[in-house]
Every structure is written in C-alpha cells, then in structure tokens.
Amino acid sequence: MPVRRLSHRIILVLTLLFLIIICMKFTALERYTKYGNQALTYFNFESHEGYEYKIEPKDSGEWHIWRNHSNVIYIHRAIYDSRNFSRWQTPAVTLMVLSNTQRHSDLGTIICSYTISNKTVSRTAKVIFPVSGFRYKLTNLQEFAIQCPVDDIYPIPTFITVSRGVDSAILKIERPYPGNEAITVCVPLVYGSFDAGMLIEWFEYLKFFGVSMVEIAMWEVPSSVSQIFDYYEKQGFLLVNKMEIPFKIDLYEPDNERLPSSKPKFLKAFVPIALHECLTMNALRSRYILSLDFDEFIYLNISVFPSFIELVDSYVGNKKTSTVQVQTGKIKFDVTCGRKLSSPHFIISHKFREDFSVMTYNDNPKSFMSTSNCPFIGNHYCMWRNERFQKHYLRVPTSHAFIAHFRKHVYCLKKVARYAMDTTLTEIEPFLVENFNKAKEKLGLLINKN
C-alpha cells in the first residue's frame, strides 16, 4: 500500500512539472485566439536591454495576411528568379513568407495562377523550408519560400494570383535589376537612430573600396537618418525599400547616446525576408552580395588588396562555378568604454580592438556570397547548402581582412582594458578623412578639420 501511494505521488509530481513546463513555454510564444475573421496575437517578453514590449498585430496594405484556423501566413512580394538551381526549384516566381509554424503541412496547398492571352494557367506551388527561423522560440514566426513553377509560362506575366482555400492575393511579379556590378551590400531592416557621423563614414568607406550599390530595407528612422539616406539615393549609390511591419511595435530610445537603441528580438523574424528579396533582386546585376550592418566595416590589408572585389577574386580564382562565399571574421572595437583618440571622425577615433587571437569564424562572420551559387542567404552567410555544385566556402585570415564591429554595450566590458590600438587604416587615413569631410560638409555637419 505505501508503495502504491508513493507511485501515485510521483505521477502527480511529474504531471505538475509537465504542466509547468508547458505554461513556461507558451509565455514566450505567440498565442492565437480566433474570433470570427480576426486573429489576435500577443507577445510579451524582454529585450536584452531589459525593456519590456507588447507587440500586437495590425492591418497592413503591404502584406497579404491569410488566416486559416490557427495558422497565419504573411506574404510580402513576388519576385521572378530566373537562376537555375535543382533543389531550390528554380526558375520560379518566389514569394518569401512568414508563418506561425515550422510544419509544411500547416501551410496547406497553395495554388499559383497566371493569366496569359486571356487564359488562366494554374500550378501547385512548392513550399520550401530553407532553415530553422532565427529566434523562432521568441517570435513563433518561420520563413518559408513559396515557389510557383513557370514551366511553359511564356512570357512571364505582370501579375500572379496565389490562393489557399478562400484566401487569395494578387501580386505584381517583380523582375531582378539589370546591370553588371561587382558587389551590392544589403542592409536588412533598418530602424531606430544612428550616429550621423558614423553613418556617413560607413557609406563613404564602402565607396572608397569599390562597392557598387547599397540596398536597405527601412522600417522606422528619424529625419536625421532619412536625410543621409536621401543624400546617397540622389547619388545613385543607395536604394531604399520601405518595409512595413504588420505588427504594432514601440521602440525605446535611451537618453544616453552611448547606450544602444532598443532592439526587439521580434524584428529578427523579418530579417530573412528583407535579405532574400535583396539577393534575388540583385542576382542578375551583382556578382556578390554582402550583408552588412551600419556598425560593421570591412578592414582590408591595403598593401595586398586595394578593393573588396580584388580580395574576393583572389580567393575565388578558378573556383567561380562552385564558390558559394568568401567569409571574413569579426573583431570587436570599443565604443562604450571611452578608449578613443582625438578625432572628429568615428572610425578614426575608435581604434582600440580586441586581440585577433579571440576571433572565431563561428562568431557571427560576414560573407561575400555568390549570387549565382547561393539561392537563400542568412544574415551572415549562405544558408542553403543542398546544391551539388556548392563546394567552396572560403575563409579569409585576419592578416588580409576582417570585420571591425563597433557595437555599443549597456555595460563597459572588463576585457576592453586589454584592447590594442589597430593600425590597419593608417596608410589610407588621409584619403578617407578627405572623403568624410566633403560628405559631412555637404550634409551640414559641423566638423573640425584640424
């Protein structure tokens, strides 16, 4: 009898533990409650700075939103991808979407319809799960590629109709940009405030090293930032795609400019959409795509490589048909802790960095990705490695190039005391400063030339 009572107690304790774990899991995930045609979504979690956010859905003219019982699909753009991959199901009209599931079956059967010569031709879409969604446990949003076949579809029409059950959407089929450029830099989902001087230096630095074009997906920025974007758009160096988010999100901006702006992790769910659209739209125009943030600068050994493309070409060599990417490691530079030199220019004054020995290629590297060999990209490198010809994932040593990462921290890091002064840019500083001064003067920034 005592043994039976004990076993009952064990079962009861285990049951309670199981229920507690389930409850803890769902407090961090998206909850759907359906009332008629309305699906409500609530998020309640903390960012890494410790600020709490409540994120709610909102109607969006930019996104097509399908709801079927508990499943929701967010559709953004339709882009014709003429590249030839075997396992990425191209050529196709590709729609990158978000959904509140990681199961293909939950998305159901999606039909793609084209109207050609007053006749409607329909095809069943192929749904591809590229890679597990970044921070899916916090956002409960997973990206999928919906690929609509274009076999026997000629010419490619202007619009496509996609449908699932009673839900449907008509989207314009966008074509990739024409041109013949070496490198395009993609900046995913820009929001919040930035140091104006650093932002100008970032654009001028890329121009100095031969970048052809910068494309950004912009959510919400203050007028001081949008004015800088306007300046580079007029030069034909920048393309801004305004991206609306189908959720209401409040951003917190700290009074202390040394502290980072709030970064709700929920926004990470939209980064793959912005990046893949940038990749596909530039697939015919640029040989390589580089995903880079505004606080990241690629430092080159200028005595060996005078431009980014010469660095990449030297590593690719005769491996062009099978090279997926050329990868560079990342090194942290001090911004928060006050180790700086006297200069009106951001990257000239912030020269203290961690030792190269701590760098690892697994710590958020950045990569020059081949547009012909990479069908889907993540924030740091190619995320699709299922094509047979994808063989070469090349790595650049710090003696040739590295990413200088100027990231702010809430707290001053103790190890910053051991940072050493970097001299990589010493030889070209006069040329950089000249370009920085010209751009800042045109934009009305007060600078000290001495």
Domain boundary among 152, 174, 196: 174
* Residue 280 domain-assigned (yes or no): yes
Q: Does one domain contain both 350 and 282?
A: yes
- Residue 280: other Cβ atoms inside 10 A: 25
Q: Does one domain contain both 358 and 432?
A: yes
Percent of all residues in the chain with a pLDDT value above 70, rounded to a whole number: 82
* Residue 5 domain-assigned (yes or no): no
Taking residues 325-354, what's their average pLDDT?
A: 93
Report the chain's mean pLDDT, rounded to a whole number: 85
Q: Does one domain contain both 152 and 235?
A: no
The residue range of the domain holding 93 is: 72-174
Q: Does one domain contain both 186 and 328?
A: yes
Q: Quick: pLDDT tens for 45-60.
A: 333 333 344 556 666 6
Domain boundary among 174, 192, 209: 174
Domain boundary among 174, 199, 226: 174
* Residue 56 domain-assigned (yes or no): no
Q: Does one domain contain both 305 and 191?
A: yes
Q: Does one domain contain both 124 and 243?
A: no
The domain total for the chain is: 2
Q: Does one domain contain both 279 and 423?
A: yes
* Residue 112 domain-assigned (yes or no): yes
* Residue 318 domain-assigned (yes or no): yes
pTM for the structure as a whole: 0.84
| CATH, residue 274 | 3.90.550
Distances (CA, A) of 160 to 38, 89, 212, 448: 26, 18, 31, 55
Q: Quick: pLDDT tens for 214-267.
A: 999 999 899 999 999 999 999 999 999 999 988 877 665 555 555 545 566 778
* Residue 65 domain-assigned (yes or no): no
Q: Does one domain contain both 206 and 86?
A: no
pLDDT for residue 161: 97
pLDDT for residue 39: 32
Distances (CA, A) of 322 to 84, 380, 391, 407: 14, 19, 5, 34
Q: How far is Cα 347 from Cα 196, in angstroms, rounded to an integer?
A: 12
Q: Does one domain contain both 364 and 243?
A: yes
Q: What tokens were used for 103?
A: 């199961």
Q: Does one domain contain both 238 and 366?
A: yes
Band of the pLDDT at 72, cuts 50, 70, 90?
A: very high
Residues 6+ apart with CB under 8 A from 166: none
* Residue 237 domain-assigned (yes or no): yes
Q: Does one domain contain both 246 and 317?
A: yes
What are the residues facing 68 on neighbouring strands?
71
Least confident of 5-19, 118-132, 359-373, 422-436: 5-19
Q: Does one domain contain both 298 and 187?
A: yes
pLDDT for residue 261: 55
* Residue 220 domain-assigned (yes or no): yes
User: Running DSSP on this structure, what letter comes out for residue 237?
Assistant: S
Taking residues 283-301, what's their average pLDDT?
A: 96
Burial 94-127, CB ≥16 within 10 A → b, else e: bbbbbbbbeeeebbeebebbbeeeeeeeebebbb
